[in-house]
Amino acid sequence: KAGVTQTPRYLIKTRGQQVTLSCSPISGHRSVSWYQQTPGQGLQFLFEYFSETQRNKGNFPGRFSGRQFSNSRSEMNVSTLELGDSALYLCASSTSGRETQYFGPGTRLTVL
Amino acid sequence: AQRVTQPEKLLSVFKGAPVELKCNYSYSGSPELFWYVQYSRQRLQLLLRHISRESIKGFTADLNKGETSFHLKKPFAQEEDSAMYYCALQAGGYQKVTFGTGTKLQVIP
């Protein structure tokens, strides 16, 4: 099976812009979770989608949003970018949300 | 709310020495606990989960509900064990997975 893929791998944006990141889960996986990874904070949970519905949400401002499509692919959007949004954004998929999560390679976002 | 604490940011051990990576959690129910590992330039991947009670690459972890701990252990460290290790907790049902801040294990040859 192909692994979790994320596009793009690298992004450079300026403050105030918005960005959309994409995640394609492993075939058959219906749960997709997003995390923000930074050196000081580790992995922080953003949200989880299952069958096109947001099932769990972390403690991030409303500028962070996401969605999931009928083929389980997911996107996350960050509006009005701030310098502090610079991070590695990881997505992970699992069959239903209670099993092992399989991680993608991440999208490295740099905000200037 | 659940919380996972990994008190050590960096743990350095000599090759052949025992390793113990600490993980403490706060959750009142019966959690599902995991250890994930990230080797250099590789993806984050599952190392082991407590429910399976497996030993992976010589690592074991025992859930101690009394001390709310899930420490990762290996009797003899190898250089290839050098990596970033994350402890994670999932509460009941389909709750979110909470990760600790990670411990970097450095095995000195």
CA B101 to mean position of chain CA atoms: 11
- C-alpha distances (whole Å) from A86 to each of A26, A31, A82 are 26, 25, 8
Q: In B, which residues are within 8 Å of A55 by CB distance?
A: 94
Q: Are B94 and A98 in contact (CB under 8 A)?
A: yes
Residue with tokens 């350095």: B12
Q: pLDDT tens-digit profile of B15-51?
A: 999 999 999 999 988 889 999 999 999 999 999 998 7
C-alpha to C-alpha distance for A68 and B34, rounded to whole angstroms: 26
Q: In A, which residues are within 8 Å of B47 by CB distance?
A: none
Radius of gyration over every alpha carbon of chain B, rounded to an integer in angstroms:
13
Q: pLDDT tens-digit profile of B66-81?
A: 899 999 999 999 999 9
* Chain A positions with Cβ closer than 8 Å to B: 3, 31, 33, 35, 40-45, 48, 50, 55-56, 58, 90, 92, 96-98, 100-106
Q: In B, which residues are within 8 Å of A46 by CB distance?
A: none
Q: Say yes or no for a CB contact (<8 Å) between B96 and A43.
A: no
DSSP B69: B
Give residue B18's identity as a one-letter amino acid code: P
Q: Say yes or no for a CB contact (<8 Å) between B98 and A45.
A: yes
CB atoms within 10 A of CB A46: 23
Neighbouring-strand partners of residue A38? A42
In a 13 Å sphere around the CA of A62, the CA atoms on its Cβ side amount to 0
In a 13 Å sphere around the CA of B102, the CA atoms on its Cβ side amount to 20
Q: In A, which residues are within 8 Å of B45 by CB distance?
A: 102-103
Q: In A, which residues are within 8 Å of B32 by CB distance?
A: 98
Give the count of Cβ contacts less than 8 A between chain A and B. 47
Minimum CA–CA partner of A101 in chain B: B46
Q: Are B85 and B35 in contact (CB under 8 A)?
A: yes
Helix (H) or strand (E) holding A88: strand A87-94
| pLDDT given for residue B6 in this prediction | 97
| pLDDT given for residue B95 in this prediction | 86
| pLDDT given for residue A40 in this prediction | 80
Q: pLDDT tens-digit profile of A28-84?
A: 999 999 999 998 888 999 999 999 999 999 999 999 999 999 999 999 999 999 999
Q: How far is A9 from chain B (nearest CA, A)?
A: 13
When the pLDDT of each residue in chain B is averaged and rounded to a whole number, the result is 93
Q: Which of B10, B50, B96, B99 to mutate to test the interface with A (most CBs of A within 10 A)?
A: B96
Minimum CA–CA partner of B88 in chain A: A43
